[in-house]
Amino acid sequence: MKESNTLLKAEHVTMQFGGVMAVNDFNLCVSEREIVALIGPNGAGKTTAFNCITGIYKPTGGRVLFDGQVISGKSPDQITRLGIARTFQNIRLFHHLSVFDNVLIAKHMRAKQTVFSATLRLNRAEERRMREETAALLCEQGLYSHRDEMASSLPYGLQRRLEIARALATEPKLLLLDEPAAGMNPQETQELTDFIKVIRDRYHMAIFMIEHHMDLVMQISDRIYVLDFGCCIASGSAAEIQHNPRVIEAYLGVEDENA
């Protein structure tokens, strides 16, 4: 049974690699239209938690539910189809394709999911609609003037934006962002912060993000989870997390080179 407006739920999720307990008994809940952050020191298990949610890893313990359905054990493609999109800590784009085609391909993937055959050719009206939607997404991200450039030729901050545009093209209900502000300067980080709020409000979407930039996290998160050595050591509002002695000791109190 699905709880009222719960979109994503992790129940006792555990991921062990040999002797390394990367994620240990992690419980999490993300509701519709919520912005939730996952923070913690390097190596705490944040990306591994994302990989368990998106089907890259099958958790060695526990389970993940999305929209009331168990998704742990499903493939990344199946999970994307159910409505979870993500970006990666190390940007993953089709580097030798144009900016436009990077987003259009994601649109095609979405279209093939809603049509019955992956080999079915899309009719002209459908193709035109997808091209218009791609152009709209690029405009929204300030990328339209770069549409014909190769993805790899974009500056780093714009590549990150392109990755978000591509994730949005699959029309997810939940967007996972793994360090979206990594490598961004303070102005780009502030623009991204504003944009994440816009995404949530415009698309009525939930956002779950890993981030080391605490300004960004504290400004926009409805709730925050803190991982340390694979274990969740705290969860709560920005104010609660900022004043939690355990979090200060494990993470916030130390100078972080990524912050």
Ligand X SMILES: Nc1ncnc2c1ncn2[C@@H]1O[C@H](COP(=O)(O)OP(=O)(O)OP(=O)(O)O)[C@@H](O)[C@H]1O
Cβ atoms within 10 Å of 183's Cβ, excluding its own: 15
Q: Taking the complex as a whole, how short is the minimal distance between the CB of residue 68 and Mg ion, in angstroms?
A: 28
Stretch that binds ligand X, among 44-52, 105-113, 131-139, 200-208 (CB under 6 A): 44-52
Residues of this chain that interact with Mg ion (CB under 5 A) are 46-47, 89
* Nearest residue (beta carbon) to Mg ion: 47
Stretch that binds ligand X, among 14-22, 63-71, 104-112, 116-124 (CB under 6 A): 14-22
**Between 23 and 143, CB nearer to ligand X:** 23
Which partner from the list Mg ion, ligand X, none does 22 bind, CB cut-off 5 to 8 Å by kind? ligand X
Determine the size of the site formed for ligand X (CB under 6 A).
12
Cβ atoms within 10 Å of 170's Cβ, excluding its own: 18
In angstroms, the CA 187 to CA 72 distance is 38
Stretch that binds ligand X, among 5-13, 36-44, 99-107, 127-135 (CB under 6 A): 36-44
- The amino acid at 115: V
Chain center to CA of 24:
21
Residue 76 binds to ligand X (criterion: CB under 6 A): no
Give me the residue label for tokens 């307990």: 21
Q: Taking the complex as a whole, how short is the minimal distance between the CB of residue 23 and Mg ion, in angstroms?
A: 12
Residue selected from 47, 54, 80, 159 as contacting ligand X according to rule CB under 6 A? 47
What b/e string do you get for 85-122 counting C-beta neighbours within 10 Å, with b at 16 or more?
bbbbeebebeeeebbbbbbbebbbbbeebeeeeeeeee
